[in-house]
Amino acid sequence: MGKGSYRLGCDIGGTFTDFVLVNDETGEFSTNKCLTTPSDPSDAVEEGIRDLLIRNPDADANIEEIIHGTTLVINAIIERKGAKTGFITTRGFRDILELGREIRYDAYDIFSEYPAPLVPRYLCAEVDERVASDGRVIKPLDVEGATDAIKKLRDQGIESVAVCLINSYENPVHERIIKTLVEETAPDLFLSTSFEVLPQIREFERACTTATNAYVKPITAKYLAKLDARLRSLGFGGRLYIMLSSGGITGVEAAREYPVRIIESGPTAAVIASQYYGRMFEIKDMFCFDMGGTTAKSCLIQKGHAGLVSTFEVGRVQRFKKGSGLPIQVPVVDLMEIGAGGGSIAKMSKMGLLQVGPESAGADPGPACYGLGGENPTVTDSDLVLGYLDPDYFLGGDMKLDKTAAEAAIKNKVADPLKTSVVDAAFGVHDLINETMAAAAKTHIAEKGGNPNVVTVSAFGGAGPVHAYGLARKIGAPRILVPPLAGVGSAMGFFTAPVAFDLTRSHRVHLEDADFSDIEALFKALETEGAAILEKAARDEKIIFERTLMMRFVGQGAETDLPLGGEPFDQLSRQEIRDLFDGEYRRLYGRTYPDNPVEFVTFKLRASLPERPFRLPTMKVSSGKLEDAVKGKRNAFSVVQKKYIPFSVYDRFKLFAGAVISGPAIIEERESTIVVGEDALATVDEYGFVWIDLDK
Amino acid sequence: MNAQNKTKFDPITLEILWRRLVSIVDEADASVARTAFSSLLRDAHDYTCMFTDSRGQELVQGTFCTPGQAGAMALGVKKIINSIPLDQYKPGDVYIINDPWLLAGHLNDVCVLSPIFFKDKPVAFTACVFHHSDIGGRISSDNREVFEEGLFIPPVKLYDAGVLNQQVLDIIRWNVRTRDEVVGDIRSQVAANHVCAQKIIEMMEEERLDTLDDLADEIITRTEASMRSAIEAIPDGVYPYTGIIEGGKRKDITISLTVTVDGSDIAVDFTGTSSQVDWGVNVVYNFTYAYVFMAIKSAFDPDIPINEGAIRPIKMTAPEGTIVNCTFPAAVAARMQVGHFMTEMVFKALSAAAPDNIIAGSGGTPAQTNIMYGRRKSGKPWHTMIIRGGGLGAGSRMDGHHCAIFPANGANTPVEIFESDTPLLVKSRGLVTDSGGPGTMRGGIGRQMVIHIPKDEFGPQDPTTIAVQAGRYIYPPEGMFSGKPGTKAKFQKNNEDADPSGLTFCNAGDTIAFYSAGGGGYGDPLKRDPDAVKQDVLMGYVSAACAETEYGVAIDPDTLEIDVDRTRLLRGQS
């Protein structure tokens, strides 16, 4: 790489930490991968960067930005390794966290487990105060009592404290006083207040989100401080950004203040990369498909935008059962995660049917073919038996796979019990996992109002490019896109993520009674707040604001989201707003009721900076011969003919722009393998993307 | 089944289609939270969505269902569908029904049912039952006949071929107290069915299916086989049990049942059970069946999605006119006060045969429900309903979860929602120390909720009316295998015990307290792991005093250390 300005993306995953260094002037990349160091993740970060700098001496001191994603927060929650945290609430309600919403998430299971609150009951304190649901102060805060409560919790050894008082979403006056008290009397404590973390009605969800923020705040702050120091010691003088669950990136200050917003930092990156490619290639409907060892994550991207949702669960006691985790209400990319990965275990179910996943063999013992003692057949085992994977070229040959062990596992656990052949069983496993993902994909796409028959599937992750072909066939997608470095594709997403922050404010008022200039003022206030957060991120650019209304029929309990255009609110008419609502409601539920009054509930604002496009490096348009890229031929299973046929095997690194490969073909790279069926045609473009057209 | 169908639904395809059906009904289910008006639906989730094939056989029900509604619907919806010849259904028809004998046992459970058409043929039916907190009538458990309990709706068309039948809506509107809410919730039911129908049609198009009936046969057959193999694991035998349910001011009720396990069949007979009574706790056959089914399903085969096949191996007989198979026009509004006990009674009958599959008595049996209503100072009526759980009974391998509604299901209403829907103020809501029944496995903890009626300009007009439909005020949830009972429920007005039956009229300044019962313990409390007892004391679930008297574990209340020697002495160990 030559001189110029550089950016570095760094993604800490469960097993590996991935790095991508990009030279913004030439568009050239350099990548690195090293083992994650769980005891101190910044060890791996420093080591990996040091390594990259040795290989790219010009980048030293020329890195302008480092963009970072981490599983630190989610792991701290799942493994319960956050800080000892206290909780302060209104007298009479210390059990908010303990009670939760009381619903049994599995109605027919009398032995269901439930997640324990992040703050144990003995660290939940009550203070005398009360605010009514309309914001009136019924009983002023007992300041002395609150001071004692803080002191007592501190004496119990807490490091962080969450404050959530009843009805504070409507009037946070007492939370503000407690905030001051903590700052004055216990400045060493980390503090999270519910009016700042989530100013929304429903005390359990607000308390849980605030307590989670408090629980991970110290660990995040310490980590970020340490990371920052280590980066500076490497000579880094640029800006550090952190990936948010919402798909934006933010400066370190906001991440430190609201770590609950970076929980899904990792999985989001692939979606953001897809979003960027979607815009770059002007693809209207993209389906991002990221399949790793344990799960597959996917997301529909329409016109270059992934959807956002405002609630999700972490730390599920039963991993794929809705309701068995802790609810977190912050903006998060609407991605769907299911238990389908290379390690998903296949077996015969109680119903005498084939079942694959959601349990995974993980990395230890891993699939049977790893030869580490795993006896359960997995998706990777079936991919090996079907010939898609090369036993001698897994991870570029660094890891040999044992095909005999894979066959034996499939025979014992699937083929024999289901009274079928090993080959049929192996294909069944491959096909069922594709079906499972396809069914989930179809549901997800349908929910977003998309059409699977027009999407381009963008494949990421170790297993993504292996299964993308089968998945695309099942959902009827005509095209697949496999970006370069699909194995570290997530880290690429960091370069394309906009600096962005989402804010909300609740203000309930009937459409007929609303003063539109008040609402314009409210949006303006949110804009000022958003600008302040972005300015800390210190880029001198024009800020983009996007407004969304959350409205409902008077008396309903949930809202319908209505994105607005750019016009000032006081220039809109009531009828325009009403039409917007009725149109969306009819689309979602079939009918609307124009005579029934509607109300505003919450106003949302996204403040963002323009994306910084990066130039992808172009490949040399070589006059190279395709034959030079051929590694040989091997028999692999045709999903069309349901039998083994010869596939040509190519080395992806030897392909060139303009190369056209007719299936059946297998394209191998170090971290993944691309399967191209006999009815498909693969072309390589000038950036090294592989485009696969089905039904050639 | 012909050969072609066999290849059509190989085990793999079947699994995929089946999963999709479940996700369809769950999507309809989720739409309710977004469109419903009453907090009982949108926050407490007291509703069930399901759909059937063209013959009315239940195919799938929502994951977050309420077992009483769900089990009763499996029987009732089929009967309603088949009462009308298939060729008389038209696209866009929507039926509305709340006949307690046809459906879920009281007038508040209103069903909206629609045929789903595909290629001009009715291929399926989608139905949902919502618990409407207001259906008019005199809201109380001491009504003598169903006529007093509110509006009775036989199967009628709300929409005829897509055209609204305004008269039906008007009849409903003029018979309830909170018309906007009730009508809004009926619309939410129509919307839920719309979502379900739309998704089923999409699936049939994509999968190129012309009918769901073949798929239904396959799913139902496999489910039945799974249920049967679960039942086969129970030793054959005849297992009788007789239990008492408190009548409060009235006579106690005797439930006499015999469970007969024969191979893969289970029969439950209620001969010997008390006759129906002249107050609101009578149970229709469907609702009794639902909670008998709940017992067997949850104990032996909880994993498989529910459909017609799951109910086939379970037969139930009950003499007509008994309280578990009451006849028209019995009063039924508070049928959960008896119906919810069926699960526990079947567990008790089977306790010796399957001790590891069942749990002790639960404080959330029956669900504790309260309807509260009145007028604001402005004259505007307000009306709300909350449901409360209690401690779950302990099992052989688990402490009881605290605050669960069992065997029914549902969520609490957030305090902040309750306060924005009503002029009342919640003083506290939380766990009650020492309420869980002591045992090797401890019963779940019960909870209290204290509500104050403000005496100021923001409070309501007098009176505020509170209807309690609950139980466990006299007989606490029992323990099992030497486990002790949980604490009893309590209902207090201004700190004094009040009458928990019928209506309670309150005035501004009054304070009402509801305490739900704790779950029963399982196994001898003296055998509980002392460290688990210590942890309970630390968390405040159990007091140090109770640790000593009930569990024989001596814990210093200040240091929370176990006094090993004294503990040995207390437990009679040398």
Instruction: Kindly report, residue by residue over B11-67, the tens digit of the pLDDT.
Output: 666 776 887 888 888 888 888 888 898 888 888 889 999 999 999 999 999 888 888
What are the percentages of helix, strand and coil residues in chain A, rounded to 5? 35, 25, 40
Q: Is A33 an interface residue toward B (CB < 8 Å)?
A: no
Task: Supply the pLDDT for residue A1.
Answer: 44
Q: Are the CB atoms for A669 and A460 separated by under 8 Å?
A: no
Query: Mean pLDDT, 10 residues at a time, over chain A (696 residues)?
Result: 73 77 81 78 89 85 86 83 96 96 90 93 98 95 98 97 96 97 97 92 95 96 93 88 90 92 84 87 92 84 84 77 86 84 87 81 81 91 96 79 95 92 94 87 73 89 91 93 78 81 85 94 92 72 89 85 89 95 87 89 89 70 78 93 94 89 91 92 91 88
- For B:202-221, CB contacts with A below 8 A are 202, 206
Task: Supply the pLDDT for residue A162.
Answer: 98
Q: Which candidate from A166, A349, A593 shows the least CB-CB separation from B187?
A: A593
Buried b (16+ CB within 10 A) or exposed e, A46-80: bebbeebbeebeebeebbebbbbbbbbbbbbbeee
Q: Is A136 an interface residue toward B (CB < 8 Å)?
A: yes
Find the residue in A nearest to B36 (Cα): A556
Interchain CB distance below 8 Å, B191 and A201: no
Residues of B in contact with A164 (CB under 8 A): none
Q: How far apart are the CA of B549 and the nearest CA of chain A, in angstroms?
A: 22
Task: Supply the pLDDT for residue A587.
Answer: 82
- For B:315-334, CB contacts with A below 8 A are none
Residues of B in contact with A134 (CB under 8 A): 420, 458
| Residues B118-177 pLDDT 10s | 999 999 999 999 999 899 999 888 899 999 999 999 999 999 999 999 999 999 999 999
Q: Is B409 an interface residue toward A (CB < 8 Å)?
A: yes
Q: Is A428 an interface residue toward B (CB < 8 Å)?
A: yes
CA distance A633 to A635: 7
Interchain CB distance below 8 Å, A102 and B410: yes
Q: Is A350 an interface residue toward B (CB < 8 Å)?
A: yes
Q: What is the CA radius of gyration of chain A?
A: 27
CA distance A12 to A43: 11
Q: How far is CA B236 from the centre of its chain?
A: 29
Residue whose entry in the numeric block shows the structure tokens 């394309």 = A496
Q: Which is it for the CA torsion A359, A360, A365, A370, positive or negative?
A: positive
Interchain CB distance below 8 Å, B191 and A447: no
Six-digit token string for B393:
């009974």
Q: Are the CB atoms for B216 and B57 separated by under 8 Å?
A: yes
CA distance A261 to A212: 10
Q: Which candidate from B12, B43, B411 shows the least CB-CB separation from A354?
A: B12
What pairing do the DSSP bridges indicate for beta strands A285-291 and A456-460?
parallel
B265-269 β-sheet, strand order: B237-245, B253-262, B265-269, B314-317
CA distance A237 to A254: 19
Q: Does the model's pTM come out above 0.95?
A: no
Q: Are the CB atoms for B359 and B394 separated by under 8 Å?
A: yes
CA distance A87 to A94: 8
Find the residue in A nearest to B387 (Cα): A102
Most B CBs within 10 Å: which of A96, A110, A584, as the mutation test of the B interface?
A110
3 state DSSP class of A220: helix
Q: Is A442 an interface residue toward B (CB < 8 Å)?
A: yes
Residue whose entry in the numeric block shows the structure tokens 């083929």 = A415
3 state DSSP class of A590: coil
Residues of B in contact with A123 (CB under 8 A): none
What pairing do the DSSP bridges indicate for beta strands A160-163 and A85-90?
parallel
Residues of B in contact with A203 (CB under 8 A): 414-416
Element (H, E) at B414: none
Q: What is the largest CA-CA distance in chain A?
A: 82
Interchain CB distance below 8 Å, B37 and A557: yes
Which residues contact residue A559 at a Cβ distance below 8 angstroms, ignoring those fewer than 6 apart?
A550, A551, A552, A601, A602, B34
Q: Is A555 an interface residue toward B (CB < 8 Å)?
A: yes
Residues of A in contact with B196 (CB under 8 A): none
Please report which confidence band the pLDDT of residue B311 belongs to, taking 50, 70 and 90 as the band edges: very high
Residue whose entry in the numeric block shows the structure tokens 């009951």 = A121
Residues of A in contact with B14 (CB under 8 A): 353
Beta strands in A541-596 (DSSP E): 544-553, 560-563
Interchain CB distance below 8 Å, B304 and A104: no
Q: Which candidate from A107, A557, A589 shows the least CB-CB separation from B409?
A: A107
Q: Are the CB atoms for A354 and A238 separated by under 8 Å?
A: no
Ramachandran region of residue B482, left (φ > 0), alpha (ψ -120 to 50) or beta?
A: left
Residue whose entry in the numeric block shows the structure tokens 């072309």 = A683
Q: Is B482 an interface residue toward A (CB < 8 Å)?
A: no
CA distance B303 to B227: 10
What phi and psi, each to the nearest 5 degrees, are found at residue A562? -130, 105
Q: Region B457-465: what's the mean pLDDT?
A: 95
Specify the higher pLDDT residue, B317 or A370. B317
Amino acid of residue A341: G
| H-only helix segments in B142-269 | 166-173, 179-207, 213-232
Question: CA nearest A422: which of A467, A377, A480, A367?
Answer: A377
CA distance A465 to A460: 7
Q: How far apart are the CA of B343 and the nearest CA of chain A, in angstroms?
A: 11
> Average pLDDT over chain B, rounded to whole?
93
Q: Is B185 an interface residue toward A (CB < 8 Å)?
A: no
Question: CA nearest A676: which of A690, A688, A686?
Answer: A690
Which residues contact residue B172 at a Cβ distance below 8 angstroms, ignoring those fewer than 6 apart?
B151, B153, B182, B183, B186
CA distance B228 to B225: 5
3 state DSSP class of B147: helix
Ramachandran region of residue A4, left (φ > 0), alpha (ψ -120 to 50) or beta?
A: left
Task: Supply the pLDDT for residue A266.
Answer: 75
Decide if pLDDT at B271 tops 60: yes
Structural domains in chain A, sorted by start: 6-77+222-261 (3.30.420.40), 86-202 (no CATH), 264-490 (3.30.420.40), 500-604 (no CATH), 626-693 (no CATH)
Q: How far is CA A119 from the centre of its chain?
A: 25
Six-digit token string for B107:
């007038």
Residues of B in contact with A590 (CB under 8 A): 190-191, 194-195, 198
Interchain CB distance below 8 Å, A557 and B42: yes
Q: Is A104 an interface residue toward B (CB < 8 Å)?
A: yes
As a whole-number percent, the residues of chain B with pLDDT over 70 amount to 98
Supply the DSSP string of A455-477, one letter for each residue.
PEEEEESSSHHHHHHHHHHHHT-
The number of C-beta contacts closer than 8 angstroms across A and B is 210
Q: Are the CB atoms for B67 and A107 separated by under 8 Å?
A: yes
CA distance B173 to B176: 6
Task: Supply the pLDDT for residue B4.
Answer: 39
Interchain CB distance below 8 Å, A443 and B392: no
Six-digit token string for A690:
């592989």
Find the residue in B nearest to A170 (Cα): B416
Most B CBs within 10 Å: which of A98, A103, A108, A553, as the mutation test of the B interface?
A108
Q: CA A35, A11, A287, B305: dihedral to nearest 10 degrees?
A: 60
Residues of B in contact with A562 (CB under 8 A): none
Six-digit token string for B220:
């139902």
CA distance B73 to B78: 8
Six-digit token string for B499:
């009458």
Buried b (16+ CB within 10 A) or exposed e, A273-288: bbbbbbbebebebbbb
| H-only helix segments in A398-463 | 403-410, 422-447
Task: Supply the pLDDT for residue B2.
Answer: 37
Q: How many CA atoms lie within 13 A of A56 on its CB side?
A: 27
Q: Is B419 an interface residue toward A (CB < 8 Å)?
A: yes
Q: Can you state the angle between helices B530-539 and B544-551, rounded to 10 degrees?
A: 150
Please report which confidence band the pLDDT of residue B101 belongs to, taking 50, 70 and 90 as the band edges: very high
CA distance A659 to A654: 10
CA distance B461 to B464: 7
Amino acid of residue A495: F
Residues of B in contact with A110 (CB under 8 A): 298-299, 302, 358-359, 392, 395, 406
Six-digit token string for B505:
């009229």
Beta strands in A456-584 (DSSP E): 456-460, 479-482, 500-510, 544-553, 560-563
Six-digit token string for A431:
């096909």
Task: Supply the pLDDT for residue A447.
Answer: 65
Decide if pLDDT at B220 tops 90: yes
Six-digit token string for B261:
């396990």
Which residues contact residue A281 at a Cβ distance below 8 angstroms, ignoring those fewer than 6 apart?
A481
What pairing do the DSSP bridges indicate for beta strands A336-338 and A296-302?
antiparallel
Interchain CB distance below 8 Å, B431 and A95: yes
What pairing do the DSSP bridges indicate for beta strands A643-651 and A630-638?
antiparallel
Most A CBs within 10 Å: which of B7, B9, B14, B16, as the mutation test of the A interface?
B16
Q: Is A562 an interface residue toward B (CB < 8 Å)?
A: no
Task: Supply the pLDDT for residue B301.
Answer: 85
Q: How many CA atoms lie within 13 A of A164 on its CB side?
A: 30
Supply the DSSP string of B474-529, one letter for each residue.
SSPPP-BTTPPP-PPPEEEETTEE---SSEEEE-TT-EEEEEPPPPPPBS-GGGS-
Q: Which is it for the CA torsion A237, A239, A241, A247, positive or negative?
A: negative
What pairing do the DSSP bridges indicate for beta strands A560-563 and A500-510?
unpaired
Task: Supply the pLDDT for residue B11.
Answer: 66
Count of beta carbons in the 10 Å neighbourhood of residue B319: 13
Q: Is A642 an interface residue toward B (CB < 8 Å)?
A: no
Question: CA nearest A273: which of A67, A57, A575, A572?
Answer: A67
Decide if pLDDT at B1 tops 50: no
